[in-house]
Amino acid sequence: MTAGRILLVEDDLALREALAETLELAGYEASVATDGEAALAELRRVPVDAVVTDYQMQPMDGSALLRALRRDHPQLPVLLMTAHGSIQHAVSSMLEGATDYLVKPFSAQLLIDKLSALLPPEAATEQPVAADPLTRRVLEIARKVASADSTVLLTGESGTGKEVFARYIHAHSARADGPFVAINCAAIPENMLEAVLFGHEKGAFTGAHESRAGKFEQANGGSLLLDEISEMDLALQAKLLRVIQEKEVERLGGKRSIRLDLRLLATTNRDLAAEVAAGRFREDLYYRLSVFPIELPALRQRRGDIPALARYFIAEARGADARPVVLDGEAEAALLAHDWPGNARELQNVIQRALILCSGHRIRRRDLQLPDPVATPTAAAPKAAEPRLQDSLQSVEGQLILDALAQGRGSRKRAAEILGISPRTLRYKIARLRAAGIPIPAPHETAAA
């Protein structure tokens, strides 16, 4: 079973072949096209689950293709690739209906992560892996609340499976036949998030060439997941609160209210009560969201799930038709001994790496490349971050962030200025690095370096 069919639209032959190979190694079927016109012709020939397209192409570029897709295939996820100097293109395209974007150059893992968010595995909507008694208790709570229509706030560290449980709640609710719409509040730039959430009318702002329904409208009759809700700024929180209270939304530039009938789900990896106390999150919105709170335990607290999750990730990566790969006893013991700061997402990365390194159909301890659990940390330990960064993210972005943190002596604000990004975006990227198992030095550590 494949993870889905992706239409890849890229005019550069070498890049197109490399990206197609990346998709196929990750379990996707890849159809390819050289420009927008060829992509539309391919869509008429075979249906796909998502489109990954370059922006700069001839004769039909990514922007024209996006408009055609939104006209003829309004629900089809579109991931836009744009050059580093063309961020404004990505911003405009998001407002025109692109689901997400990637800035070149990007890592293979980032592409797969983006697609995984758009097209989660079918198993995630059926039954989360729950071998540990603690997880089974949480799953039972989720099953019970699914039958109600209450707002649910899912909390826990990054990588604990909050979205998996959100999809489980939707799939076992009376709204299961309706849409499930998810938006990562941390991944959308602040100046775009309001338009993406609430929608906009033609001419509402520069670049709004046509009217567009927001995520609230798209989720009508189903469920809307606000992922990482704690990253939303206070001004937008006030507007969100009104939408939740009134159960209606008004598009930017619009003059009429649209009634809403949906279930709201939210996730955060922060302590929202502490955020409220610090003045970073509205107290009234907090109580609106936490009608039914569910805390997901970290993977180190539910070690009974580790072997089961490892087997699931092996099967997912290998596919149903491949010969099974098994963990030997030492490898499983090593997995159980590790603390998993990046939780299930880190475990998935470790398994994917081990499948590449293993010989035959057995994963051994050495294939996991986990640190020795009995080793004593030394002053030289931070150097281990570089190979792990290359292995798990295959990108220079993480190293740039680490370098900026060191240059700014641990100050997140100074590091954001060095990188030319907002502190909010830096927090999001640091969270992704932590989820991948990359150690991020605390301010006092970099200051002493």
Instruction: Tell me, yes or no, whether 413 and 354 share the same domain.
Output: no
Instruction: Tell me, yes or no, whether 150 and 265 share the same domain.
Output: yes
Instruction: Tell me, yes or no, whether 140 and 265 share the same domain.
Output: yes
Instruction: Tell me, yes or no, whether 279 and 151 share the same domain.
Output: yes
Instruction: Tell me, yes or no, whether 21 and 108 share the same domain.
Output: yes
CATH number for position 50: 3.40.50.2300
Residue 364 is assigned to a structural domain of this protein: yes
Q: How far is CA 9 from the centre of its chain?
A: 22
Instruction: Tell me, yes or no, whether 202 and 245 share the same domain.
Output: yes
Taking the C-alpha atoms of residue 145 and residue 263, their distance in angstroms, rounded to an integer, is 12
Instruction: Tell me, yes or no, whether 104 and 141 share the same domain.
Output: no
Instruction: Tell me, yes or no, whether 152 and 257 share the same domain.
Output: yes
pLDDT in tens, the chain (449 residues): 446 789 999 988 888 888 988 888 777 888 899 998 999 998 888 788 889 998 888 888 888 898 888 888 777 888 888 875 555 666 676 777 777 888 888 888 888 888 877 765 443 345 788 888 899 899 999 999 999 999 999 999 999 999 999 999 999 999 998 999 999 888 888 778 888 899 888 887 777 778 888 899 999 999 999 999 999 999 999 999 999 999 999 998 888 899 999 999 999 999 999 999 999 999 999 999 999 999 999 999 999 999 989 988 888 887 655 667 888 889 999 999 999 999 999 999 999 899 988 888 889 999 999 886 544 444 444 433 333 333 433 345 677 788 788 877 778 888 877 777 777 777 777 877 776 667 777 665 444 43
Instruction: Tell me, yes or no, whether 257 and 129 share the same domain.
Output: yes
Residue 350 is assigned to a structural domain of this protein: yes
Domain C-terminal end among 117, 147, 177: 117
**Could you give the number of structural domains in the chain?**
4
Instruction: Tell me, yes or no, whether 78 and 181 share the same domain.
Output: no
pTM over 0.85: no
Residue 97 is assigned to a structural domain of this protein: yes
Residue 289 is assigned to a structural domain of this protein: yes
Domain C-terminal end among 77, 97, 117: 117
Domain C-terminal end among 368, 403, 426: 368
CATH number for position 354: 1.10.8.60
Residue 264 lies in domain: 122-297
